[in-house]
Copies of this chain bind each other. A is one copy, B any other.
Amino acid sequence: MDKIKETLHQLFDDFQNFEDKGQKATYIPELAHIDEDLFGVSLSCLDGMQISLGDATTPFSLQSISKVLSLVLAYNILGEDLWKRVDVEPSGDTFNSLILLELEMGIPRNPFINAGAIVVADILISHLKNPEEVFLKFIQELAQDTSIQYDLNIFHSEKSVAYRNYSLINLMKSFGNIHNDIDKVMDLYFMMCSVSITCQQLSKAFLFFANDGTHPLTQQQILIPSRNRRINAIMQLCGFYDEAGEFAYRVGLPGKSGVGGGIIAIHPGLYAVTVFSPKLNKKGNSTKGMAFLERLTSELNNSIF
């Protein structure tokens, strides 16, 4: 543990001089307002210890990281039937491509590309009375922090420019893989993306993934172990759009990124770690965050491989 703490501090210092060639996400107008020099790190261990550095208490937009948590809810509702509606294969395509979706008759490649997460939102609407409320409460409980909220500015901003996502859902609806009203599904999808969260909150919220599905601080079982392993596997293979191989290769941990600049990574049995830095590479993943996690697992000599 001391080794981790020391390494984190050392790396955090080193990364003050990181030459960041990334660009802030601008396609969601509201995201463009963020201070691009923000940089936060938070690592939570199974015993409850948490190391947080830099802007670890500055909220950012959860975005695609929300896809992991909505998947947990849907998986617990449908069980293995879930996989009739969405596959578990890497897509080899960008996060919002329509090509494979058309060739494969409206069944998204995996739950972490946009199309897949939209199907997951559709499932939540079919089975929950107040899915928005349920989802928010779920995150609050995982992070043990009721101050986590939706950001309606982000919600409206994202919705106003989301033509490609509407293209995806209409295509899936034409194949019969969306059961509810399109606007209702998209609203839930955008709401879940809009959650405003900090590194500290996030690394705590994802800790159960490192503990076979049981939250180590509350002892609540969020997922049974086999399902927990399976979602970790999907994160490993599909968590970084068409850069999943690159992340596995460099970092060697299951994880998930979002265009808000956040990345979460899990070391099963050890920790959950969050990095936040708004500048993104061309694949939509935080440049500094990727580089930081690569150095971290390299220095600690502990990827899962």
Q: Which residues of A contact B (CB under 8 A)?
A: 87-93, 97-100, 102-103, 109-110, 163-164, 166-171, 173-174, 225-226, 228-230, 232-234, 236-238, 242-246, 248-250, 252, 254, 268, 298, 301, 303-305
Contacts and interface: CB of A to CB of B under 8 A. Distances in A.
B249 A230 contact: yes
Nearest to A301: B225
B166 A246 contact: no
A98 B92 contact: no
Which of A166, A229, A244, A303: most chain B CB closer than 10 A? A229
A97 B99 CA distance: 9
21 contacts: A89-B243, A89-B246, A90-B90, A90-B237, A90-B244, A92-B93, A92-B109, A98-B98, A163-B170, A163-B174, A164-B174, A167-B168, A167-B169, A167-B174, A225-B301, A226-B298, A230-B249, A232-B305, A233-B248, A233-B305, A237-B248
Given A233-B305, A254-B305, 6 more contacts: A89-B244, A99-B102, A163-B170, A230-B252, A233-B245, A234-B245
Contacts of A226: 298
Contacts of A169: 167
A213 to B, nearest CB: 11
A89 B245 contact: yes
Given A102-B99, A171-B98, A89 B242 contact: yes
A2 to B, nearest CB: 22
Contacts of A97: 102
A52 to B, nearest CB: 25
Among A228, A236, A301: residue with most chain B CB under 10 A: A236
Contact of A268 (B87, B248, B249, B305): B305
